[in-house]
Amino acid sequence: MDYPSPIAKLINSFSKLPGIGSKTAARLAFYVLEMPEADVSYFAQALINAKRDLKYCSVCGNITDTDPCMICSDKGRDQSTILVVEDSRDVMSMEKMQEYHGCYHVLQGVLSPMEGTGPEDLNIASLIKRLQNEEVKEVIVATNATAEGEATAIYLSRLIKPAGIKVTRLAHGLSVGSDIEYADEMTLFRAIEGRREL
């Protein structure tokens, strides 16, 4: 039995979201049908507003509703350090920690030849332009520990180091509370590589 067209379209829309299969999409669609109309209208308007009102910061590439974003506008931030991340969610994660007080740069992706993503598809040109400011002393590359993230980190390092700017990489390895016996070889390798003096 086919669903009526309006609910079929709603299920199809939900199924386009990452990590949402057809069963979850159907569950969400029927949940929306049971919501009060005011809540559905608020939800729909929130989606429209987010799509219409958000843009990328012209300085760092973070998602924002003001340009430049609040972080780039904050003169109290350490302008000598730029932490490079893959996407805006990474900025939010770092900010929750409340320990990093430098600037950010959002690449809006990683190098991925398999998906046809090259350097020209990423927010790299504006990073290089920012590095012409003599105040920048260190770039911290905080891409994920995936093959694509590593390739992007190496590419950025080779691009930036000739300018005499220190390029560092976030340490990767054992997470707090984990057991060595359950860690894979790459995690252990990164833990050894990123060791520090006590």
* pLDDT at site 134: 78
**Domain ranges, ordered by start, for the chain:** 5-53, 76-169
Q: Note whether 118 and 190 are within 8 A (CB).
A: no
- For the record, the structure tokens of 99 come out as 């320990």
| Higher-confidence position of 167 and 184 | 167
Please name the helix (run of DSSP H) or strand (run of DSSP E) that holds residue 64, with its range, or none. Answer: strand 63-64
- From residue 164, give the alpha-carbon distance in Å to each of 71, 109, 153: 25, 25, 17
Instruction: Give the gyration radius of the chain's Cα atoms.
Output: 21
Which residue type is seen at 58?
S
Look up residue 134 and give its two tokens.
Answer: 């003599």
What's the mean pLDDT in 112-118? Answer: 93
What digits encode the pLDDT tens for the residues 49-95? 999 999 999 999 999 999 999 999 999 999 999 999 999 999 999 99
d(CA 151, CA 125): 17
| CATH homologous superfamily, domain 5-53 | RecR Domain 1 (1.10.8.420)
Task: Kindly indicate whether the domain formed by 76-169 is annotated with CATH number 3.30.450.20.
Answer: no
> The tokens of 97 are what?
């920690």
| Alpha-carbon span 68 to 66, nearest angstrom | 6
Average pLDDT, the chain: 92
Region 112-135: what's the mean pLDDT? 93
Write the pLDDT tens digit of every residue in 5-15: 999 999 999 99
CA dihedral 44, 53, 85, 81 (to 10 degrees): -150
